[in-house]
């Protein structure tokens, strides 16, 4: 078999195999098989610091860019092209099982042109198996070279020339460039690159330098920095070559339209807030390159900004930019800014309701970048709605902060809005019951020098003269004195008769016929005996005195008793263990089972600031008496005070005692008052604390004998209301 015949046989066999594969592919495609290629493109330019993933490239450069590529798939068996298309839509390319070369290209690799990149990428020997969707990633690179220029001291150059540029020549082709906004693209194998600088007068000068390479590789970017010499000759100050990525060379028109990304806005681009509330709100202008322009229209119900309504404002118009910034007190980005944004936070903090009624404000924005407007997407919602609601704040007056001639308003509580802003424009007000006039108060404390006749008031706070809090009712306490505080109301109650001695009495600190009894004594204890009733065991430790008084005709008298309490006291015997202080107290008292049984206090609905009284004290030795007062709410003591004289002597005469109450809980009102005067502060005694069988004169009973220690006279008790 000769070589020609062998070659013919092999060729025929290969053709049959290829035709068989094609037939199988046709049959498989007709059956809707799932075998094929899924192709993605990446930025694979040599020298790139990072490589974008397919998804990142798609997001950064946009579908419009990816669809510029021509995708060619070649079946290695017979080198048949089974796919050749522009654009590639990213869907599955159905091919039969086999080996393939996949190539992506963009551009026609011009000899010289402006902004005309040429990209290529290729992946070889890709195996596709039956019923397999094979993913192929093609790394695309810049396959031609480019040149850009920039100038030193460009400001001075602009002063001298109004029109200057550099022309780039390759053979018979030429392009003009002024700065890095445009670049000259040429083939990587170019060796005849020439540059000329052109002046205003039409003259030109060739720019020569050893810094310009004689040949260029794919992806080379020559950046020339030009400098004008003192002799008005343009020279190359610096030449640098760097490798560019696909992303760096994409023409603006291929980049995606700008997008607006909102921070702080919720569903449907709506931000809901309370007046004065500090909300972070920002519109980020997502542009691949610098911002080219911005259009704004407004629908403001807020009267502060309503002057902007009914007109479109454009960033490139200085008058429009200034009007928006002045009216809204915001800063708009400059044209050319990369990563621009509109910070609306300060504007939102200033928005107001209509006297508490909800106000809706709308801003519509259109952004131009990459030579495209964001409004190209007709379905995009470019309107941002800001709903300003009434701020929520309230005041209260604690029960414990209401007295007889003053009350204190709690500082405002802000639950929706900025507390500092609201407090800075807040006015507290009150009015009397039956009045229509609100009175301004510059402080939280409202007070009168004397307790006013009107007791009921209403309180509120008003923000910026328009928005009011809740109205709180306040009722002042009514000053009250303790009944029988002048100690004039007493009665003598006959208890019995002592043989050969006469009648004995109990002295009650309230007038006959009194139904609401306040005061009590511990006389029952002084009369308790176990041997025989004698004068000593019948003598009351508390009574009234008509001989000693501060005002009126009577005072209360109490002495420290050395008799009673169930002990066998006689005229000569003192049982020190049974001694005790004579006491006058508010409440009720009984003596049983050898102990005091006291119900302390009486209902009372007002809080005094002081208890004052007059006293005369006749101490035994260096004794001292004790007076104290409790104001209670239920069983809780909310205010109290104690008085013990620093010194005392028999010849001191009448003196004034003052107890200042200390209130520990200002959230509660008074429900009861308890006062007690005791002839001594001692709780244990010796025989030296008493005068045995001392004579004492009682009303009605006359002269009597008892074991008596210190003696205390109390008169003219008064409650003071300083607040």
26: Cβ contacts below 8 Å, ≥ 6 apart: none
Residue 87 is predicted with a pLDDT of 63
What pTM was computed for the model?
A: 0.64
Mean pLDDT of the chain: 87
Q: Do you find a cis peptide bond into 87, omega within 30 degrees of 0?
A: yes
Is the per-residue pLDDT at 65 higher than 70?
no
Let me know how long the chain is. Answer: 723
Name residue 24's beta-bridge partners.
Answer: none
Whole-number pLDDT of residue 45: 61
pLDDT single digits (tens) 209-244: 888 888 899 989 999 898 888 888 888 989 899 988
Please give the torsion angle defined by the CA atoms of residues 95, 97, 99 and 104, in that order, rounded to the nearest 10 degrees. Answer: 20
pLDDT band at 59 (very low <50, low <70, confident <90, very high): low
Q: Which H helix or E strand runs over 4?
A: helix 3-30
What is the pLDDT averaged over residues 168-173? 90
Q: Coil, strand, or helix at residue 249?
A: helix
How far is 277 from 287, CA to CA, in rounded Å? Answer: 30
Q: What is the pLDDT of residue 628?
A: 97
Q: Output phi, psi for 374, to 5 deg.
A: -65, -20
| Percentage with pLDDT > 70 across the chain | 90
Checking if the pLDDT of 263 tops 90, the result is: yes
Residue of 579 and 60 predicted with greater confidence: 579
Residues 314-367 have pLDDT tens digits of 999 999 999 999 999 999 999 988 889 999 999 999 999 999 999 999 999 999
Inter-CA distances, 132 with 54, 125, 127, 463, Å: 20, 16, 10, 71
Match 């909310």 to its residue by tokens.
Answer: 638
Taking only the tens place, the pLDDT of each residue in 68-122 is: 778 888 988 877 888 887 766 668 888 899 999 888 888 889 999 988 889 898 9
Residue 52: what pLDDT? Answer: 43
pLDDT at 460: 97
First vs last C-alpha separation in the chain: 132
Q: What average pLDDT does this structure show over 623-651?
A: 91
CA distance 189 to 241: 15
Q: In percent, how much of the chain has pLDDT > 90?
A: 57
Average confidence (pLDDT) over 182-208: 87
Greater model confidence, 613 or 201: 613
pLDDT tens profile 310-324? 999 999 999 999 999
- The answer for residues whose C-beta is within 8 angstroms of residue 429's C-beta and 6 or more apart is 438, 439, 440, 441, 459, 460, 461, 462
pLDDT tens digits for 474-530?
Answer: 999 999 999 999 999 999 999 999 877 889 999 999 999 999 999 999 999 999 998
The whole-number pLDDT of residue 21 equals 43
Q: Give the separation between CA 493 and CA 564, rounded to whole angstroms.
A: 19
Q: 383-389 and 270-274: which strand pairing? A: parallel
pLDDT digits (tens, 9 = 90+) for 427-453: 999 999 999 999 999 999 999 999 999
The residue whose two tokens read 């010289």 is 112
Tell me the β-bridge partners of 111. Answer: none
Q: Which domains can be identified in the chain, with CATH numbers? A: 26-142 (2.60.40), 145-253 (2.60.40), 257-389 (2.60.40), 393-475 (2.60.40), 491-720 (2.60.120.890)
The structure tokens listed for 492 are 């003598």
The pair of three-digit structure tokens given for residue 488, joined into one six-digit string: 């004039």
pLDDT band, very low/low/confident/very high, at 55 (cuts 50, 70, 90): very low
The first and second tokens of residue 22, run together, are 């094609």
């Amino acid at each position: 078999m000769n070589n020609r015949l062998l070659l013919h046989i092999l060729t025929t066999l290969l053709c049959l195999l290829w035709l068989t594969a094609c037939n199988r592919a046709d049959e498989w495609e007709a059956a809707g098989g799932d075998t094929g290629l899924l192709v993605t493109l990446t930025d694979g330019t040599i020298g790139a610091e990072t490589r974008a993933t397919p998804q990142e490239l798609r997001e950064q450069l946009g579908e419009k860019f990816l669809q510029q590529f021509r995708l060619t798939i070649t079946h290695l068996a017979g080198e048949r092209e089974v796919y050749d298309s522009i654009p590639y839509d990213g869907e599955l390319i159905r091919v039969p099982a086999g080996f393939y070369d996949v190539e992506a290209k963009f551009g026609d690799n011009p000899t010289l042109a402006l902004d005309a990149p040429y990209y290529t990428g290729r992946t070889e020997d890709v195996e596709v198996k039956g019923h397999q969707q094979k993913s192929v990633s093609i790394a695309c690179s810049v396959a031609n070279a480019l040149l850009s220029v920039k100038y030193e001291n460009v400001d001075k150059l602009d002063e001298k020339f109004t029109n200057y540029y550099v022309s780039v020549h390759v053979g018979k082709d030429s392009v003009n460039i002024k700065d890095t906004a445009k670049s000259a693209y040429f083939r990587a194998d170019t060796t005849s690159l020439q540059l000329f600088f052109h002046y205003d007068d039409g003259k030109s000068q060739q720019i020569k330098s050893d810094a310009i390479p004689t040949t260029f590789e794919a992806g080379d970017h020559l950046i020339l920095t030009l400098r004008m010499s003192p002799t008005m000759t343009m020279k190359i100050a610096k030449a640098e070559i760097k490798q560019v990525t696909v992303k760096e060379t994409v023409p603006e028109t291929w980049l995606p339209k700008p997008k607006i990304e909102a921070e702080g806005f919720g569903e449907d681009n709506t931000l809901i807030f309370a007046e004065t509330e500090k909300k972070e709100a920002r519109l980020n202008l997502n542009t691949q390159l610098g911002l080219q322009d911005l259009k704004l229209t407004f629908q403001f119900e807020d009267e502060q900004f309503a002057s902007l309504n009914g007109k479109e404002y454009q960033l490139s118009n200085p008058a429009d930019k200034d009007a928006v910034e002045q009216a809204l007190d915001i800063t708009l980005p400059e044209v050319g800014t990369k990563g621009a944004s509109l910070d609306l936070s300060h504007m939102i903090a200033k928005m107001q309701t209509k006297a508490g009624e909800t106000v809706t404000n709308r801003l519509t924005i259109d952004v131009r970048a990459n030579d495209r407007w964001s409004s190209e997407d007709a379905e995009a919602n470019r309107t941002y709605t800001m709903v300003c609601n009434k701020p929520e704040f309230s005041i209260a007056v604690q029960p414990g902060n209401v007295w007889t001639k003053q009350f204190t308003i709690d500082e405002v509580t802000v639950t929706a809005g900025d507390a500092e802003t609201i407090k800075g424009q807040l006015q507290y007000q009150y009015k009397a019951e039956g009045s229509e006039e609100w009175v301004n108060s510059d402080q939280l404390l409202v007070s009168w020098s004397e307790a006013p006749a009107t007791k009921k008031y209403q309180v509120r706070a008003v923000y910026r003269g328009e928005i009011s809090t809740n109205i709180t009712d306040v009722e002042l306490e009514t000053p009250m004195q303790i009944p029988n505080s002048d100690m004039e109301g007493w009665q003598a109650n006959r208890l019995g008769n002592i043989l050969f001695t006469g009648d004995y009495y109990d002295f009650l600190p309230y007038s006959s016929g009194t139904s609401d009894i306040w005061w009590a004594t511990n006389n029952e204890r002084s009369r308790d005996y176990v041997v025989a009733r004698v004068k000593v065991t019948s003598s009351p430790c508390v009574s009234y005195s008509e001989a000693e008084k501060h005002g009126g005709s009577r005072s209360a008298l109490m002495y420290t008793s050395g008799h009673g309490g169930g002990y066998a006291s006689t005229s000569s015997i003192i049982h020190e263990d049974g001694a005790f202080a004579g006491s006058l107290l508010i409440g009720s008292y009984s003596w049983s089972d050898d102990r005091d049984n006291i119900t302390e206090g009486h209902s009372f609905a007002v809080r005094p600031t002081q208890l004052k009284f007059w006293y005369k004290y006749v101490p035994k030795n260096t004794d001292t008496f004790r007076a104290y007062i409790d104001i209670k709410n239920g069983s809780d003591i909310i205010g109290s005070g104690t008085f013990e004289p620093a010194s005392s002597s028999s010849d001191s005469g009448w003196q004034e005692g003052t107890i200042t109450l200390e209130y520990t809980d200002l959230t509660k009102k008074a429900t009861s008052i308890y006062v007690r005067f005791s002839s001594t502060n001692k709780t244990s005694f010796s025989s030296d604390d008493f005068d045995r069988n001392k004579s004492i004169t009682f009303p009605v009973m006359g002269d009597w004998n008892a074991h008596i220690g210190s003696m205390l006279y109390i008169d003219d008790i008064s409650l003071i209301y300083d607040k």
